[in-house]
Chains A and B, each alone.
Chain A
Amino acid sequence: MKRLDNLRCTLLSVSMLLLVACGGESNPLSEVDLTLDDTQNILDFYAANPELITFSTLDDLPDDLVWENGMEQPEIGSPDAVKGGTYYEVLDDFPPTLRTIGPDSNFSSRSWIRDNYDMTWAMPHPNTNEYYPGMAEAWAVSMERKTVYIKINPAARWTDGEAITSDDMLFAFYFYLSDHIQAPFTTNYFASEYSNITKYDDYTFSITVPKAKPDMAAKVLQGGPAPQHFYKEFGEDFPERYQWRYAPHAGAYYIDPDEIDMGVNIVLHRLEDWWAKDNKYFRYRYNPDHINLAVVRDTAKRYEAFRRGDTDIFRIATADMWYDNLPDDDSAVANGYIHKTTFYNGGSKSNWGLWINASRAYLDNQEVRLGIQYAANWELVISNYFRGDMERLNTQNDGYGEFSHPTLTAKPFDINKALEHFANAGFSQRGPDGILVNTEGHRLAFTLSTHYERFSDVFTILKEEAIKAGLELRIEMMDGASGFRKAQEKRHDIYFVSFAASNEMYPRMWSYLHSDNAYDQAFLEDGSVNPDRKVKPQTNNLQSVAIAALDPLIDEYQDSDDKERMIELSHQIMQIHSDYASFSPGFVQPFYWTAYWRWVKWPEEFNYKFTSYPYELFIHWIDEDARQQTRDAQSSGQAFESHIAVYDQFKE
């Protein structure tokens, strides 16, 4: 038995190590030296960068500005909403840090640490997509000056009670441009997307961008300041120093770091005297007094926790969960304890599909890529696995309204066409296992890598179907970090992934399709393909798309401030990209499913058009009496009216 024990011990001790690594650190705040002061460095930075940071007076504010305050948008939430109660939610992993910037800060549960209730200067209205004010009181956009002017709401306060001023926005430039935060993406974003910030007075400032674009306002309005007073000790040791300190923001909820049960539980509290609580757009939102966040790592366990009533809302992602685990005739659903809703939302959505790396051997052949398109049986996946609820994606950029291509469609599953294209590429004979081989005896086999384990069944279906067309897909299931790294380093053949765009006005083209992001030097001076070009890692051009004719179109699209011309260009780009066949469009989910206990109340319309999950806007509220009533009813067997609703008012 000794050997068995040894192996068991090894496994056990390793899993213990993993567990320990996941949490259990004590709060190191007590060891931090709080007397440091970074103010002089900030002033030096401002003095050294007069081009970037400008100090001015209200007199210099242009007179011709058209100020908007966004107050004409419809209210958000329901007047029936009642404040109070505790809302129980789950985290799928315990946060490795309370920072939301810097190393390890891009963790999955960070939305509950800040993003879900954070505020920006102004936000797009979830139904109209027009801006309504957040921390700003008014703003003005000047296209010719490439500048957005913002007046801060003087009432706006950080969660710790300090006023939010223009200085905090100036500090944001210092903060985000600093190497100390160790967030190259953000630093690069600030360096490339903004060219100047000017302070006019404590509550008025302007930000200039390098290029005037139709969505220029979004770049500025959907940004926010950084609390200068909180980052007073900012310096080289930022990641460690601020690891477990909770940065103030302008939102409704806050976390007390001392209350955190490390590795287990986090509680959010609503600010009693939140500065925006009577504001038109916020008064019916952020209703629960407390939000209890417990760590439950596994979907099956999260579902069981929901069934027990330990959590209030459960987002259902898969058909088997919706139809088999929680069917409409389930006793809890039929008795009206648990409600189910299908909500059709609008806007751009995750573009699930196969990203084919055109820089790889054989995949650089368009015929092979076309063959793969015809050999991918997404129809079967959608009809038999997703039970017809998903829709077929047609291009990489569906859901952008006029910017999306009106007529392009995805290639259907067609074995004969696939075989035809593979034959054109020299793969015309079937080997003994039914996989095509070319004259040199090379098998038509590619690796399909991904880190989306929840879709693993999809890949086995695609694999089995592709064999019919003589194509072998080797499935490589990776963990999130190493999988995505592989894709970013362009070492993949085919990667299954989606890039979710958060309701941007028009699709991003440059980062996904421009040759600058595919190779170091894709083309020679005369426009021919550079034979020595090297793949460029760490970009989003996962398909290694480099088409000489496409680059000028993308450049013009990038620089254009004319919406009509951009739409035209967008269609042209998508057409060329579709012909290039490096993206096999998969599926898109045009709705989201929600199951919730009957004590969670929602506005009559359930939710807003541009939402991607139910509690995004915090328009729901908790009826604690109904919770007790439901608990009593469960034990006495009393039934309520069942509620299974489809909200298709925004169905496209």
Chain B
Amino acid sequence: MFDFNPQTLKKLRRFREIKRGYYSFVILGVFLVLSLVGELLINNRALIVSYEGELYFPTYAPFHPGTDFGLDYPYETNYRDLKQHFTDQNADAWVLLPPVPYSPFENDGSTGIFRPEPPEVAKQHYLGTDSTSRDILARLFFGTRIALFFSLGFMASVYLIGVAVGCAMGYFGGLFDMLTQRLIEIWSNIPFLYMVIIVFSVIPDTFTVTTRILILLSVMVLFSWTSMTYYMRTETYKEKVRDYVAAAVIIGSSNSRIVFRHILPNVLSTLVTFMPFTIVAAISSITALDFLGFGLPPPTPSLGELLKQGTQTLRTAPWIVMSAFGTLVVLLTLVTFIGEAIRESFDPKKFTVYK
């Protein structure tokens, strides 16, 4: 949509020079890409099973009942047991398991009791287990993935609405601006947490977890887009009176062309500097909602749910709260570093320091 002009390229170069922010960006980017194929890294389904001369790739395939591999049960194969089974039998078959062979949902009570177990490399529970013996690393990983994509979706939606409405207000001005502003003032006074509670109490329970997450996202977006409009409105007001806009009007450009091709690229820096902080806010609030019990339905893995468990088992299983808290700190720090770097590189005064 936008051509990178030399100025933007210069800003990107400056971003690369700010090492802290740049490496944070790289780390987070790698994690995002990895998390897309997370099922290959952390999963109780095997990557490859070789059985009776055939290769199976169960990860993204329909489930294989135990009977498919010569076991006697009709439900989903336990691939860790299958591996053991093949080893015991010295069969001409093998199983390749992911590095962390646990799903975020299964209760792995190897001691016969479901309770938090401390981290143990031998059992491949690298961060231990939670209060019902579920692998914490698996829950953290998929919980973080949901939180990250949730916040990316949140940011995109908020900006879409916020930018569109804000630009329209600034560009058209007048009565439209005034009415919309009043509407936004009223709208932004509706308490968001109450709305989440109310909306969630009326959602039919037959909806899938994904639908519920999307509904939660919509509710949050619905009550969060307003503050973005203020910045966009003022920026657009400022740009609107510039000569280049007047020139565009004179040569007969349409309103949408002026807004999207001329004004928007020039207010982009404001937008971009806010982005990481929007993400930070989204991650914090989804975690807070989960912590309060109004977020994602159980047993969806989530940082907030783990934090809650952690606070309840502070004495007996400190690894739960440490893992969840550590992840949250790292995640939010990375995003904040990126945000700082962006802000600095987009700052027209080169030698100011962000404090």
Contacts and interface: CB of A to CB of B under 8 A. Distances in A.
Interface of A: 1-4, 6-8, 10-11, 13-15, 17, 299-300, 320, 323-325, 383-385, 387, 415-416, 419, 430-434, 447, 449, 453, 456-457, 459-461, 463-464, 467-470, 474-479, 482, 493
Contact of A14 (B75, B76, B131, B194): B194
Chain A, interface SS category: helix
Given A14-B192, A384-B112, A475-B298, A434 B281 contact: no
Contacts of B227: 2-3, 6
B278 interface: yes
B132 A461 contact: yes
Closest 3 CB pairs of A and B: A432-B62, A468-B75, A447-B205
Given A3-B277, A11-B193, A449-B205, A477 B298 contact: yes
A538 B305 CA distance: 33
Interface stretch (B101-109, B174-182, B252-260): B101-109
B297 interface: yes
Contacts of B75: 415, 434, 467-470
A469 B118 CA distance: 31
Interface in B105-142: 105-107, 109, 112-116, 131-132, 134
Interface in B207-237: 223-224, 227-228
B16 to A, nearest CB: 24
A300 B192 contact: no
A324 B193 CA distance: 35
Given A300-B312, A475-B299, A477-B297, A384 B109 contact: yes
Given A461-B114, A461-B132, A433 B191 contact: no
A404 B282 CA distance: 54
Given A453-B293, A460-B298, A464-B107, A430 B131 contact: no
B65 interface: yes
Interface stretch (B81-89, B243-251, B261-269, B313-321): B313-321
Given A6-B227, A415-B74, A460 B205 contact: no
A291 B76 CA distance: 56
A457 B113 CA distance: 13
Interface of B: 62-63, 65, 73-76, 105-107, 109, 112-116, 131-132, 134, 191-194, 201, 205-206, 223-224, 227-228, 274, 277-278, 280-281, 284-285, 288, 293, 297-299, 311-317
Given A4-B284, A7-B284, A460-B105, A476 B297 contact: yes
A2 B228 CA distance: 10
B73 A415 contact: yes
B191 A463 contact: no
B131 A17 contact: no
Main secondary structure of the interface of B (DSSP, over half): loop
A117 B312 CA distance: 32
B114 A433 contact: no
A467 B63 CA distance: 11
9 contacts: A8-B284, A11-B192, A14-B191, A320-B115, A320-B131, A324-B116, A384-B109, A415-B73, A478-B201
A167 to B, nearest CB: 46
A479 B76 CA distance: 33
Contacts of A461: 107, 114, 132
B224 A7 contact: yes
Contacts of A463: 299
A459 to B, nearest CB: 7
A373 B73 CA distance: 19
B228 A3 contact: yes
Contacts of B194: 14
A311 B106 CA distance: 38
A11 B201 contact: no
A479 B224 CA distance: 25
A464 B74 contact: no
B111 to A, nearest CB: 9
A434 B132 contact: no
A411 B191 CA distance: 48
B228 A477 contact: no
B114 A384 contact: yes
A457 B284 contact: no
B21 to A, nearest CB: 16
Given A324-B115, A384-B114, A385-B114, A7 B191 contact: no
Contacts of A449: 205
Given A324-B316, A384-B109, A457 B285 contact: no
B60 to A, nearest CB: 11
